[in-house]
A and B are shown apart, each in its own frame.
Chain A
Amino acid sequence: MSIQSYLVVSALVFSIGAAGVLTRRNPLVVLLCLELMLNAANIALIAFSRMHGNGDGQVFAIIVMVVAACEVCIGLGMVVAIYRRRLPIDVDELRELAG
């Protein structure tokens, strides 16, 4: 398959993830949709790596996976902290950062 079709799949997944981030209210699902967007970037990186024939894009993809793991770590920690304080688990209700 041509590189173009991989990039179109990547664009579709990115758009779906963006729509999910904007429409969902549960912070867990918002985090999942952020994962979708990061994965869309990964497809594009690996497709370009294949296009150029060197491994730089694959290293970038691995670094993106590290960043995604960090984001999951902090995001889920925040969700658990919100749950412990009996605050509403709803991204529309959580407006201030003051602890």
Chain B
Amino acid sequence: MAEVFFFIAAAGALAGAIGVATLRNPFYCVLALVGHLVSLAALFLLLRAEFVAVAQVVVYAGAVMVLYVFVVAYVGAAEPARLRTPVGGGQRGLALAFALVLFVELCIAVLGSGLKALEGEGAPYVPGFGSPEQIGELLLTKFLLPFEIASFLLLIAAVGAVVLARRRGGILEEEQRVDAMRFLRPPGTGTMAEAAGGPTGTSAQRELEATTADNPAREPGW
């Protein structure tokens, strides 16, 4: 039964990976990666890594992919025709050859290592392996320093993203500051200030708004 699940999940993961690398529309690439990640979570479950599988689905396939979808929608999903053309020269063929060589080399490294443990199913399963308790205990005892460094890394990345994406030069020209009193006491409400200042009523209101919009200093004194 585990074999059937393994082949289904591995086929899903490979199909998702090929989809990411070949699909033209970045939206479909992101969706293919979501499928890939969910298949990968199934593989993690087969390897008895329950907590990592859940984190994979919630953090990766959920949060990170939503970020991707937002940016793809912001930048524009339709690739310009220039991007759609394959990379020039012999780069595509060279890249595929490089990937093939890399795969063959990795397979030689794995299969040629002669490790007996690689052919087995792994160490005997003990209850609690891969559970949140075990991962949490490891993170807070044996791997406390990497855990803290990871938190600093996340902080640095957040600050870096804010610096990268901020709008330069402060407030733009089109945005103008609006006096808060104009919301509290809009023109034409019949206040004492308007009576003393002269113009009132709906006919004068538009003029008043026009003059105050042009030059707030000329507003009648209140």
Write the residues of chain A forming the contact surface with B, with a CB cutoff of 8 angstroms: 1-9, 11-20, 22-26, 28-29, 31-33, 35-36, 39, 42-43, 46-47, 49-53, 55-56, 58-59, 61-63, 65-70, 72-74, 76-81, 83, 88-90, 92
CA distance A4 to B26 in the complex (A): 33
Chain B, interface size: which category?
A: 35 or more
Chain B positions near chain A (C-beta within 8 angstroms) = 2-3, 6, 10, 13-14, 17-18, 20-22, 26, 29-30, 33, 36-37, 40, 43-44, 46-49, 51-52, 55-56, 59-60, 64, 67-68, 71-72, 74-75, 79-80, 82-83, 86-87, 91-92, 94-96, 98-100, 102-103, 106-107, 110-111, 117-124, 126, 129-130, 134-135, 138-139, 142-143, 146-147, 150, 153-154, 156-158, 160-161, 164-165
**Roughly how many angstroms separate A70 CA and B6 CA in the complex, as a whole number?**
30
Looking at the assembled complex, report how far the CB atom of A3 sits from the nearest CB atom of chain B, in whole angstroms: 5
CB–CB A83/B75 < 8 A: yes
Chain A residues with CB under 8 Å of B153's CB are 66-67, 70
Whether A20 and B146, one on each chain, are in contact in the complex, defined by CB atoms closer than 8 angstroms, is: no
On chain A, the residues within 8 Å of B30 by CB distance are 32
The reply to whether A32 and B49 contact each other, CB–CB distance below 8 Å, is: no
Give every chain B residue within 8 A of A58 (Cβ-Cβ): 49, 51-52, 130, 135, 138
Q: Which of A25, A32, A33 has the most CB of B within 10 A?
A: A32
Given A1-B46, A28-B26, A65-B59, A55–B79 Cβ distance below 8 Å? no
Q: Could you say which residues of chain B place their CB within 8 Å of the CB of A35? A: 33
Interface of A is mostly: helix
Is B130's CB under 8 angstroms from A42's CB?
no
Q: Are A17 and B21 in contact (CB under 8 A)?
A: yes
Contact of B95 among A1, A22, A61, A73 (CB under 8 A): A22
| B118 engages A11 (CB within 8 Å) | no
